[in-house]
Chains A and B, each alone.
Chain A
Amino acid sequence: KPKAPAEEPAAPVEEPAAPVEEPAAPVEEPEEFVFGILMVGPYNDRGYSQAHYEAGLYVEEKLPGTRMIYLDSVNTADRPGTTPAQLGEELVAQGAKMVIFNSDDMKDDAIEFAKNHPEIFVIHASGDTQWPDGENYIPLDNMVNIMGRMEYGKMIAGCDAALHSETGSIGYLGPLINEETRRLASAAYLGAKYCWEEYLQLDPADLNFRVTWIGFWFNIPGFTEDPSLVAQEFINSDVDVIISGIDTTEGLIEARKAAGEGARVFSIPYDYIGACDEAPEVCLGVPWFNWGPAYLRHITNATTGNWKAVFEWNGPSWEDLNNFDTTNVGYLPGPAVDPNAAILLESFIDELAGGLNLWAGPLNLQDGTPWLAAGEFATDTQVWYLPQLLEGMEGRSE
């Protein structure tokens, strides 16, 4: 049991009767630990949510005595009239001792839930509220924040894209504009620029890196730009590698179509290790999340009494980027990778592993404001709260 709850200041809030009265307890195997996951999308979306779902399966396998329950499509469009906090309670009612909120969008509910349920362990994936250095610090003893350092994945994706671009035009299919999406797009740009200059020995002025935002994580006719059209527009204007930052695979599909019609176009999807499957012939690789090890660690901590409220921003395992047991983010090269480029990509990864830091000055923001002076390296908070795209990138910052 966590030590924390005792000190919880929110004590006056009365316990909802549900978890206590739930008759799930009596005939049970000794100490089964049930953890629940709330996923923002469908559990089998072959994207962000599925990555969490598979992490849950991973924990079940590695830690006998644990069992996952989940609820997917947790968003108000799909579950009208519900809140993630309320749905978390449903998981508790089914015996969950831990609830994982998998999306940044559930931030407020994760906090509300954690406050109201001090005896339940809460993991908020992608949140920053447990980060003492962060801008939104709200200490809660039963909450952990986990995020993968996807910036590395995106840098590798950017490099991969640059290595394969003949036209020097790379398109980044962005979702909505916020700190996270800005820093990921910028990371991709940094990776692309580095490989373009260092490995291909080309003039950075010839590298054209464009970000087009669709306005949401996926297409909603009438509200967002149509990502298929965006991808087409990229292709029509000479972009030959499309990096996707959105939840759906329009970039890949359009590249597949264009390739089928004889063009030389590639794409790099996002989020899920199996994302290339939808169009392997044009897939250069995928930066993917591996939430398993972090979940395993914190669930183990919870069961063994070692739980501690922390903020974690976990990097890749440089020994093996695609090792399910060790890495937090990975990069799986796709079937379409050119063998020569693969060698260069490998050396880029090695450089990163060796400590190459691309968040290094001199770097200006898109509007020319100096951001990092020469020789300066960005701090974690600077990267996390990146205020604009970087100089040299095309596209909106706000």
Chain B
Amino acid sequence: MKQSRTRSLSILFQFGGLILSLGFVTVILLLVDANPIQAFSLIWQGAFGNPTRIANVVVAWVPLALVTCGVLVTFTAGLWNIGIEGQITLGAIFTTGVIRLFLNTSVNPALVIIIAMLAGVVGGILWALLAGVLKVFGGVNEIFGGLGLNFIATALNIGLIFGAWSRPGVASMSGTEPFPEIYWLPTVGSFRFSWYSIALTLIGLVVIYFLLQNTHFGLKLKAVGKGIKSAYRLGIPTWQYMMLAFLVCGLFAGLAGALQVVAVYHRLIPAISSGYGFMGMMIGMLINYQAIWVAPVALFFAALNIGGIQLPIIMKLDSTLSGVMQGSLVLFILLMQGVQQRILGKK
């Protein structure tokens, strides 16, 4: 009884956070002389207005959901894996590298795609483990190790695109030479999404849900995250589990990066990680690290990103409004959590 009361109270506070963030965005819109209702409905239309748009939302949802899955694992282990952007990038780089390797061979393209994606996963894992090694054996806080590794990963990426892997003669921001279509992950009709990426994402979601909710592994990770010393005393090999958390997160990030290459861009591009890593971390905070919410909230964020495209076309507003909406939502919900704890704690 008491529990259900605090539950409904907490929903009330979350709702309050939502209202506040909507209010905040409305004020911002009024400030720039725009009609908020029109803006909101445009975003909705832009995300779900027709099948193509829904398909595009799904395309953005795939990496976002995957990355969020990974981030939840590191969050559970008490780690701030800010290096995830770099892990996505490395996933993409490894995938591209492998496809380039097989480009003019007779190896079955399907096989090449599979090997390339595995390589991408390995790339993500390696980069994550590097942050892990720095943390575990070097005492370098994962936030700063990860930030540094992000910069290095991006530099490596740009270096490859403009250097070793540049298109003949024209190094360009458009990325490396696109692969022949046989190396593309097949998409559905004229839509841009692929059943394969969706299937992989759904598998990832299910795996993470059960991993964190119902397995000994998940419980041990949680123990490491909540009290590392105690966890060690209770017999959990803590540094190994931290490394495992990095590994799993790197796996998801690498997979996301690989899919960006084989399913979306068909080449390596400069901003391949697309900020999905950071966005995934925000989603993680917003859903309070509960795996069950990953899919819908990632969909919501993806919809904001895609729907926001309509703002400049029709209202001549900058699309960064979507980012403002996402950020303020997470911020206000978090603040309301604090307010709730403060008020209820005082009773």
Contacts and interface: CB of A to CB of B under 8 A. Distances in A.
A14 B189 contact: yes
Which of A69, A105, A108, A179 gathers the greatest number of chain B CB atoms within 10 Å? A108
Given A91-B313, A105-B174, A108-B174, A81 B302 contact: yes
B104 to A, nearest CB: 19
A109 B178 CA distance: 10
A87 B309 contact: yes
A71 B309 CA distance: 8
Contact of A77 (B64, B271, B319): B271
B320 to A, nearest CB: 8
Contacts of B320: 78
B145 to A, nearest CB: 16
A81 B305 contact: yes
9 contacts: A18-B52, A18-B53, A71-B313, A73-B319, A80-B276, A83-B265, A107-B174, A108-B267, A178-B171
Contacts of A82: 56, 60, 305-306, 309
B313 A90 contact: yes
B192 interface: yes
B170 A178 contact: yes
A86 B56 contact: yes
Interface in A212-265: 215-217, 222-223
A75 B313 contact: no
Contacts of B63: 81
A76 B313 contact: no
A223 B154 contact: yes
A72 interface: yes
Contacts of A17: 50-52
Which of B151, B162, B175, B313 gathers the greatest number of chain A CB atoms within 10 Å? B313
Interface size grouping (class) on chain A? 35 or more
A166 interface: no
A397 interface: no
A83 B170 CA distance: 20
B230 interface: no
A70 B169 contact: no
Given A14-B190, A81-B306, A83-B265, 14 more contacts: A13-B190, A16-B52, A17-B51, A76-B271, A79-B305, A80-B279, A81-B63, A82-B56, A82-B60, A86-B192, A91-B313, A94-B313, A106-B174, A116-B190
Nearest to A85: B192
A395 to B, nearest CB: 15
Nearest to B176: A108
A135 interface: yes
A341 interface: no
Contact of B272 (A76, A79, A105): A76
Contacts of B264: 81, 83
B338 interface: no
B52 A79 contact: no
A70 B312 contact: yes
B215 interface: no
Interface in A2-20: 13-18
Interface residues of B, number: 51
B170 A81 contact: no
Contact of B50 (A79, A93, A107, A215): A93
Contacts of B158: 215-216, 223
B172 interface: yes
Given A73-B319, A223-B158, A90 B190 contact: no
Contact of A105 (B60, B173, B190, B312): B173
A83 B46 CA distance: 15
B227 interface: no
Interface in B254-298: 264-265, 267, 269-272, 274-276, 279
Interface string B52-93: 110010011001100000000000000000000000000000
Nearest to B279: A80
B328 interface: no
Nearest to B305: A81
A177 B169 CA distance: 9
Contact of B190 (A15, A107, A108, A179): A15
Contact of A104 (B53, B60, B172, B309): B172
A90 B310 contact: yes
Nearest to B154: A223
Contacts of A385: 169
B191 A94 contact: no
Contacts of B170: 104, 178-180
4 closest Cβ contacts across the A-B interface? Answer: A80-B274, A81-B60, A105-B174, A77-B271
A197 B144 CA distance: 55
A107 B274 CA distance: 20
A108 B28 CA distance: 37
B111 interface: no
Contacts of A217: 173
B335 interface: no
A151 interface: no
B343 interface: no
Contacts of B313: 69-71, 90-91, 94
Given A15-B190, A18-B52, A75 B171 contact: no
A178 B319 contact: no
B314 A94 contact: yes
B309 A215 contact: no
Interface in A47-78: 69-73, 75-78
Interface in A136-158: none
A105 B309 contact: no
Contacts of B279: 80
A21 interface: yes
A72 B312 contact: yes
A129 to B, nearest CB: 12
A81 B274 contact: yes
Contacts of B169: 135, 178-179, 385, 387
Nearest to B308: A79
